[in-house]
């Protein structure tokens, strides 16, 4: 136990963590550089195609540029474009583009270059969006020590779901992370309409909104909802301009058909939501895991909804930040379709919870160092960073997704602390509102 405390405290003081982060960033950069230099037919020396998930986006851009925007969701046509990029893939292999039409806009530009240049530019865009999102979250915390801010950026950049699952694979979560961070920051700075418009960007992946949308209604955040509606109309207009009206209307139908197509061969070991956890553990192909996922969503809305309902009367910026953090964190677990790469979004919550536990205070004293809750959270951070590296291998080996367990552990313990603080705060507010008895005149 003493050894574990020593490791956790040393790691949490950030010096060893920074060394590990810098080493990780250098290593991944060398892997990417080696892949680009040894590229042949868009395959790297390591075997797989460059940017494992990027072909779907590049294909979407090419398809629209070829004047076939009305067939953006034609799976057969997508497959033809996919094999032009990766000719050595099997005939039945394909990676369909399943995102809304507005999300294809940047790839119309990026697909004008060769595939490897396009992927490199996209990777740089992802890095820029992600680091900008981290800085947006930091902007809600007042003045931070410059060294602390740099360490936050390094730790965030070395987070495996970002640097391995997103940058190297060309996946989209840094975009979702930026959208959440922008909405989070704008809401904190008193701009709820703009925050709602930023949140509408998350419609690129509807499962990211299964908790936050019902909860902002429960919290009567009407201006934020107004901004969200404005944003959705704007994105719908962009989508219609890109592909036309009829293909835009067919998008939802395509989503449902894609869900049916992915029932077979679904790689549950790469997903962290509760539905995928049950599906991986049980090996079942029935609808039971989906029912578990929907039940988890309802449970999270019920528990968090009680606190969101208090939000208008409390008018507490710190309480609002913590509510957003817990909502984002629980979105990853209480869901039906969340990939490992989307754990990137948890960084919003982790930074805010680090501030709550005093880990971002350069002048924290010794009593804070020994605080039990702070030590527990440090242990959770260290465990999360470690488990991210091995969770896929463990899931393949024993059919248990460790990331789901760790995220649930963090969610439950931190929600318990939030509930206690909320109850204490409400008690003090009610006591302050009670009239004090006047002393009788003598």
Please state, in angstroms and rounded to a whole number, the distance separating the CA atoms of residues 53 and 155: 24
Mean pLDDT of the chain: 85
pLDDT at 174 over 70: yes
pLDDT at 336 over 70: yes
Please list, in sequence order, all residues whose beta carbon lies within 8 angstroms of the beta carbon of residue 311, skipping any fewer than 6 positions away. Answer: 219, 220, 221, 319, 320, 323
Residue 239 CB burial class (10 angstroms; 0-12, 13-18, ≥19): buried
| pLDDT tens-digit series, residues 101-110 | 999 999 999 9
> In the chain, what are the domain boundaries?
2-422
Mean of pLDDT values over 434-439: 46
Closest to 265 (Cα-Cα) out of 96, 145, 44: 96
Question: pLDDT value at position 366?
Answer: 44
Among residues of the chain, what percentage have pLDDT more than 90? Answer: 50
pLDDT at 128 over 80: yes
Q: Which residue has the tokens 């960073």?
A: 385
Please state, in angstroms and rounded to a whole number, the distance separating the CA atoms of residues 63 and 73: 10
Does an H or E element contain 20, and which? helix 15-37
pLDDT at 334 over 90: yes
CB contact at 8 A, 276 and 184: no
Question: pLDDT value at position 218?
Answer: 94
| pLDDT tens-digit series, residues 185-227 | 999 999 999 999 999 999 999 999 999 999 999 999 999 999 9
pLDDT at 237 over 70: yes
| pLDDT tens-digit series, residues 360-418 | 775 555 444 447 788 888 889 989 999 999 999 999 999 999 999 999 999 999 988 78
Please provide residue 401's backbone torsions phi and psi, each rounded to the nearest 5 degrees.
-90, 105
| pLDDT tens-digit series, residues 7-64 | 555 555 556 777 788 888 899 999 888 888 888 888 888 777 888 889 999 999 999 9
- Tally of helices (H runs) and strands (E runs) in the chain: 21, 0
Question: pLDDT value at position 40?
Answer: 84
């Amino acid at each position: 136990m003493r050894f574990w405390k020593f490791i956790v405290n040393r790691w949490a003081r950030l010096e060893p963590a920074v060394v590990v982060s810098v080493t990780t960033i250098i290593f991944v950069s060398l892997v990417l550089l080696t892949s680009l230099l040894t590229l042949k037919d868009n395959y790297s020396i390591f075997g797989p195609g460059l940017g494992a998930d990027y072909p779907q986006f590049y294909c979407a851009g090419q398809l629209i540029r070829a004047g076939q925007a009305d067939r953006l969701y034609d799976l057969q046509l997508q497959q033809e474009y996919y094999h032009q990029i990766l000719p050595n893939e099997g005939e039945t292999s394909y990676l369909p583009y399943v995102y809304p039409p507005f999300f294809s806009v940047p790839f119309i530009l990026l697909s004008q270059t060769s595939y490897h240049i396009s992927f490199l530019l996209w990777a740089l865009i992802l890095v820029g969006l992600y680091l900008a999102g981290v800085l947006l979250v930091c902007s809600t915390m007042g003045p931070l020590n410059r060294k602390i801010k740099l360490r936050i950026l390094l730790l965030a950049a070395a987070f495996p779901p970002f640097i391995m699952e997103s940058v190297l694979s060309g996946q989209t979560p840094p975009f979702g992370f930026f959208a959440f961070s922008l909405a989070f920051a704008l809401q904190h700075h008193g701009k709820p309409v703009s925050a709602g418009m930023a949140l509408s960007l998350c419609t690129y992946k509807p499962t990211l909104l299964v908790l936050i949308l019902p909860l902002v209604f429960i919290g009567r955040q009407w201006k934020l909802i107004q901004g969200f509606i404005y944003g959705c109309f704007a994105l719908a207009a962009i989508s219609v301009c890109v592909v036309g009206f009829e293909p835009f209307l067919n998008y939802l139908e395509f989503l449902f058909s894609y869900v049916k197509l992915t029932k077979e061969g679904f790689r549950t070991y790469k997903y962290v939501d509760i539905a995928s956890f049950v599906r991986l553990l049980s090996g079942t192909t029935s609808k039971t895991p989906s029912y578990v996922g929907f039940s988890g969503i309802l449970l999270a809305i019920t528990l968090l909804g009680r606190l969101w309902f208090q939000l208008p009367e409390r008018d507490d910026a710190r309480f609002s930040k913590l509510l957003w953090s817990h909502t984002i964190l629980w979105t990853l677990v209480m869901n039906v379709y969340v990939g490992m790469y989307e754990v990137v979004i948890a960084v919003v919550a982790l930074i805010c919870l680090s501030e709550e536990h005093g880990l971002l205070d350069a002048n924290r004293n010794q009593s804070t160092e020994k605080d039990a809750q702070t030590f527990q959270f440090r242990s959770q951070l260290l465990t999360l960073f470690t488990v991210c590296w091995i969770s896929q291998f463990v899931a393949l080996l024993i059919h248990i997704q460790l990331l789901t367990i760790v995220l649930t552990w963090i969610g439950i313990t931190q929600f318990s602390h939030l509930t206690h603080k909320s109850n204490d705060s409400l008690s003090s507010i009610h006591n302050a509102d009670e009239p004090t008895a006047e002393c009788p005149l003598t």
